[in-house]
Structure 1
Amino acid sequence: MIIAGLGFSSTATVDSLRAVFERASVGQNVDALATVADKEGHAALSEFAAETALPLHFIAAADLAGQRTLTCSNRSRAIYGTGSVAEASALAAAGTGARLTSPRQISDDRLATCAVAIGGQT
């Protein structure tokens, strides 16, 4: 399974999410989206998920902390205990043995990030 993990600011727009998703997932057939559970209900996320028609997995914040990421945002580290919400969400949702196929990409407006992981075992 190929998962696109998303991290974003409360002010992110659907355009921010769409642009960074397209950048991170180029050439990959993404099966689902994932992000941290506290983003559930965010209007832009809901709209983007509906637009893509991909299932959306919400990952408990505690499950992000144990994920090793390739990149590091100081804000993500301070709030969630991981270097990248996008990378950690993708890895956690993709399952045991998952690996990143696209490290965290940042939208031009710097409001959203996306990373893609392929699953090992689920």
Structure 2
Amino acid sequence: MIAIGFGTGGGCPIDSLIHLLCGCRDEATRTNDKARFSGLFTVDRAQHRDLRAAVEQALALPVTLIAPEQLIVMADRVVTRSARSIEHYGVGSVAEAAALLGAGPGSRLLMPRRIFDKATCATAIQRGKAA
């Protein structure tokens, strides 16, 4: 199963986020026609709680909100180093850390962070598992 992680900057338009998430999902599907998705994962903050229902409806996948302090567990495993993300969450990429946490123990990044407008996303899969 593939997990999609995402993050947003302040004032991120919902259309931009959905556009990016659909693109990430489609890219994972193009590289593996049997791709299955476990859901969408992001840090628990007010903006993400407000966007949750619209994202779930648009992608037909559940959104899991992750406590900010849990992201730090993945700090050594993310490949992106955003100074802003490190300052706020202690991890180089919220999207990558959320995807890795969502994919579970032994996960690896399939697609590092992508950016569109004020939104970011990444995908991860559990090691040794088919998508």
Answer with 1 or 2: which has the greater Rg. 2
CA offset digits 1:30-74 (Å, max 9, x no partner): 3300000124422x3431221111011111111101202011111
Residue aligned with 2:45, SS: helix
**Which residue of the other structure, out of 18, 40, 43, is the alignment partner of 1:33?**
40
CA contact (8 A) 1:37 1:60 kept: yes
Higher helix share: 2
Counterpart-to-counterpart distance in 2, 1:56 and 1:106: 19
Asked whether the 8 Å contact 1:20–1:113 carries over to 2, the reply is yes
Note if contact 1:23-1:105 (Cα within 8 Å) is conserved in structure 2.
no
- Number of residue pairs the alignment of both structures matches: 118
Q: Residue 83 of structure 2 aligns with which residue?
A: 74
TM-score (normalised: structure 1): 0.87
After TM superposition, the structure 1 = structure 2 runs for residues 81-100 of structure 1, keeping only pairs within 5 Å, are: 81-100=90-109
State whether structure 2 residue 56 is matched by structure 1 residue 53.
no
What TM-score does the superposition give when structure 2 sets the normalisation length? 0.81
Gaps of 5+ in 1: none
Root-mean-square deviation (Å): 1.7
Aligned residue number for residue 23 of structure 1: 23
Q: Which residue of 2 aligns with 1:4?
A: 4
- Unaligned ranges ≥5, structure 2: 30-34
Separation in 2 of the partners of 1:98 and 1:2?
9
